Amino acid sequence: MKQSKKRRVTLQQVAEHAGVSTSTASLIVRNNPRISEATRQKVLQSMRELGYVYDRVAANLRSQSSTTVGLIITDISNTFFSEFLIGVHDALEEVGYTVLLGTTFDSIDKQDHLISTMLEHRVGGLILCPVSGTAQETALRLEQLDIPVVLAVREIPEIKCDYVGADYREGALSAVNHLIQKGHKRIAFLGGIRESSTWVKRMEGYQTALLEAGIEVDDSLVIDSAPTREGGLEALSKILRLSKRPTAIFCFSDLIAFGVMQGVRQAGLIPGEDVDIVGFDNVPEAEISHPPLTTVSSFPRRSGTEAANLLHHKMSNTNHKQQRIILKPELIIRESS
Amino acid sequence: MKQSKKRRVTLQQVAEHAGVSTSTASLIVRNNPRISEATRQKVLQSMRELGYVYDRVAANLRSQSSTTVGLIITDISNTFFSEFLIGVHDALEEVGYTVLLGTTFDSIDKQDHLISTMLEHRVGGLILCPVSGTAQETALRLEQLDIPVVLAVREIPEIKCDYVGADYREGALSAVNHLIQKGHKRIAFLGGIRESSTWVKRMEGYQTALLEAGIEVDDSLVIDSAPTREGGLEALSKILRLSKRPTAIFCFSDLIAFGVMQGVRQAGLIPGEDVDIVGFDNVPEAEISHPPLTTVSSFPRRSGTEAANLLHHKMSNTNHKQQRIILKPELIIRESS
DNA sequence: CTGAAAGCGCTTACAG
DNA sequence: CTGAAAGCGCTTACAG
């Protein structure tokens, strides 16, 4: 962990070289306008000559500030989250923050550990996609942090916190309604983790749609799974073993849907013909899958941007009021249904 | 940028509370074993009571060390890089480093700026996927950094540096040979940026394969493009306008190949039947695309892991010898060819 | 517009 | 095994 043998060039050395005081040099690195242009040029020249690199860490320590933000997500290989990450990252970079990245893989321990690490690194704010079933203890801890926190995607019901997400219930409702309108009566709901708030919301939408159409909810058609492509494949294999198979499948996410489509094909059926499939999220791959996937866009990238902007606002305004930003999902009909 | 109103609990306060000196408390946070178990427990208890959070930034400043690593990639939405990111991130997290993330989107200015930001944040090491056409100036600067640097994916010919990548020439060779063996004589090479070392290497492989098979290289069949799906789509549209169309297409990357397949379909042709298509990288989507994409695996995730391990080794061993890790690519034949 | 001194929260020798 | 003092590289009042 030891850094360079060579010592860093310090601001003091620069000041000496330029023949000014350290305070003057300090004002210059921070672009304070009340320094004469002549001195400024002289000092900037010394910096170049000595190869000076500003030490933001020391500066932040002294001034009790921070130029970093922590971002904790579940899994980068899940395109939903990588899209979310892009949204957050780009928005924060634009306003001059550097992001520290952490991934939980849905482990509560990892999440606790990452929160600590972020705090130890003095992040000025935190964007967290909480692990499903985040403990009361963690929740309390989050509430007591003295840096701004924005929750995203999943919610923690126990605490009040700024939050960015989509109306998952509404999204599920529109997806299932679409299937009902196509004449389906046996519609499965596949994949996802039951403990997750995002699952619960989708389940509500699923049930509501069925009930409103006078269709009874058949528990054997609701199968949860790991939120991965493999999870989708597995959930589907259970469906295939059913004596009364569904004619349409509403999937927890696009990732799950890709697994389901793969399984459907392996069983010799054609997605969109023999069985209708709808995903959730509208990740970029949904458009190029074959057949292109009907899905509900939950705007992952935009969620990231919104979360970043909200956090930034919170970090710069002390009188920030708590906000919940709920994006309205959009049904995108393609050929898989 | 101002942090919390509440002041951080300091180690000194903890020490006072526990009735020991600050040095003792410091030894305890760093798990120094020469403190009696009794004192240790007493101090740990005080930390819990006061809600102490270790200030790694202050610690790193004082001890001239770092627990962060900078990672600069081109574009997170390109699955190749997000896979690379996962590899780096997981490997570094495991050994206790936190990663600062930056994306260049192939802009030299952004790259220069990101390198500065990373240095200002006192990263202990840097993994960089250089922008194509990185200037001599930047290259020199990289060479003179006094922190360990590992280059990945693309190379900068001007400088000597640790490097991790795949044998792109070899990969292209095997892809094109595969197409030749299938009887193709008119094989296009589509997409990618000519300035990039990874393009040049693939081009070498492409030419070599053709020449060895006694096929003349037809320049009209080599079309570069932005390294995106849209780029692939565009490059294909140029191909479609040709009077003598190719019967097979070797694509710079899977991402390009997805664009090409999309375009092929839009033109009413069937990929893998009317025209054979081969990609490069083997990103996860290659397996689920339709038809599944024949491609050359360049092991993006493993490249990331290797780069991280190499960097870590370099950071902890002062007598590290410069290394080049070149992964051997692997042709994966699926149904698109 | 510029300077001398103190301090952010930690660790590092050096004594005991 | 524990303590008092100095210092990492910067910024912050406060004087001038």
Q: Residue ranges of the alpha helices (H) in B182-299?
A: 197-212, 229-240, 254-266, 285-288
The mean pLDDT of chain A is 93
What's the pLDDT score for residue A203? 98
Domains B11-54 and B68-166+300-327 share a fold: no
Does B123 score more than 90 pLDDT?
Answer: yes
pLDDT band at A3, cuts 50/70/90? very low
Is B119 close to A315, i.e. CB distance below 8 A?
no
What's the pLDDT score for residue B289? 86
Which residue's CA shows the smallest distance to C1' of D7?
A: B62
The gap between B45 CA and C9 C1' (Å) is 20
Helix axes A37-50, A11-18, angle to 10 degrees: 120
10 Å Cβ neighbour count for B146? 13
pLDDT band at A325, cuts 50/70/90? very high
Nearest nucleotide (CA of B20 to C1') = D2
What's the pLDDT score for residue B115? 95
Q: Choose the mutation target among A61, A121, A228 for the interface with B, i.e. most B CBs under 10 Å.
A: A121
pLDDT band at A2, cuts 50/70/90? very low
More confident residue, B106 or B319: B106
| Cβ contact A297:A281 at 8 Å | yes
- As a whole number of angstroms, the distance between CA A259 and CA A256 comes to 5
Tens digit of each residue's pLDDT (9 = 90 or more) over A211-224: 999 999 999 999 99
What's the pLDDT score for residue A315? 93
What's the pLDDT score for residue A288? 84
Tens digit of each residue's pLDDT (9 = 90 or more) over B287-314: 888 889 999 999 999 999 999 999 999 9
pLDDT band at B2, cuts 50/70/90? very low
Does A1 score more than 80 pLDDT?
Answer: no
Q: Can you name the CATH fold of A68-166+300-327?
A: Rossmann fold (3.40.50)
Architecture of domain A168-297: 3-Layer(aba) Sandwich (3.40)
Q: How far is B161 from chain A (nearest CA, A)?
A: 17
- As a whole number of angstroms, the distance between CA A238 and CA A260 comes to 11
Q: Residue ranges of the alpha helices (H) in B107-224?
A: 108-120, 136-144, 168-181, 197-212
Backbone angles phi, psi at A99, to 5 degrees: -105, 135
Q: CA-nearest residue of chain B to A144? A: B51
What's the pLDDT score for residue A8? 83
Sign of the Cα torsion B74, B76, B78, B81 reads positive
What's the pLDDT score for residue B3? 41
Tens digit of each residue's pLDDT (9 = 90 or more) over B134-173: 888 888 888 888 899 999 999 888 888 999 999 999 999 9
| Cβ contact B257:B233 at 8 Å | no
Q: Choose the mutation target among B7, B56, B71, B82 for the interface with A, i.e. most A CBs under 10 Å.
A: B82
CA-wise closest residue to A250 among A296, A289, A216: A296
What's the pLDDT score for residue B271? 95
Which residue's CA shows the smallest distance to C1' of D3?
A: B21
Which residue's CA shows the smallest distance to C1' of D8?
A: B62
Q: Choose the mutation target among B81, B101, B230 for the interface with A, i.e. most A CBs under 10 Å.
A: B101
Does B1 score more than 50 pLDDT?
Answer: no
Assess whether A118 (CB) lies less than 7 A from strand C. Answer: no
> Which percentage of chain B shows pLDDT scores above 90?
81
pLDDT band at B5, cuts 50/70/90? very low
What's the pLDDT score for residue A234? 96
The gap between B227 CA and C14 C1' (Å) is 60
For chain B, what's the residue count?
A: 337
Q: Is B333 helix (H, G, I), strand (E, B) or coil?
A: coil
Assess whether A39 (CB) lies less than 7 A from strand D. Answer: no
Record the tokens describing residue B87, joined without a space: 């590899």
- As a whole number of angstroms, the distance between CA A167 and CA A205 comes to 10
Does B190 score more than 80 pLDDT?
Answer: yes
Does B6 score more than 80 pLDDT?
Answer: no
Does A299 score more than 90 pLDDT?
Answer: yes
**A135-144, A226-235, A281-290: range with highest mean pLDDT:** A226-235
User: Exposed, middle or buried by CB within 10 Å (0-12, 13-18, 19+), for B60?
Assistant: buried
Does B4 score more than 60 pLDDT?
Answer: no
More confident residue, A36 or B259: B259
What is B11-54's CATH number? Answer: 1.10.260.40
Average pLDDT over residues B124-136: 91
Average pLDDT over residues A100-105: 94
Query: What are the structural domain ranges in chain B?
Result: 11-54, 68-166+300-327, 168-297
Residues on chain A touching B64 (C-beta within 8 angstroms): 2-4
What's the pLDDT score for residue A6? 63
The gap between A21 CA and C5 C1' (Å) is 13
